[in-house]
Amino acid sequence: MDSDAGTFFCCRLLLFPYMYWVYGQRVGLPLYKVPFSLSPEYNIGAAILMAPQVYWFYLICRRAYTLFRQSLLNQRPKNGHPAPVGTLAKDQHCSQ
């Protein structure tokens, strides 16, 4: 799941700063001045396109965190004490 989030982050979220950077390189502006040199329509359009990407990235990260937390909770024994090293695998085998 974490590779999905990384791929999504690189391909969907970093695309917008990259586009601004490329434009700045082409025109000769530093990255922080690019949004101010464009007309407001372009910045609003980029924000409208980026908003769902940020939301979906949030959902992906939240689901990954939930799955990671569940896998950690399933590894712990029910009484809260750490299980001896050899018994955890044996207990899982017997319960299946």
Beta carbons within 10 angstroms of residue 20's beta carbon: 21
Q: Of the given ranges (17-21, 32-36, 89-93), which has the lowest mean pLDDT?
A: 89-93
Locate the domains of the chain by residue range.
2-95
pLDDT, tens digit (0-9, with 9 covering 90-100), for 23-69: 999 999 999 999 999 999 999 999 999 999 999 989 988 988 888 88
Is the separation of the CB atoms in 12 and 53 below 8 Å? yes
pTM of the model: 0.60
Is the separation of the CB atoms in 21 and 31 below 8 Å? yes
In angstroms, the CA 78 to CA 34 distance is: 56
Cα dist. 18→10, 23, 49, 57, 92 in Å?
10, 9, 14, 18, 48
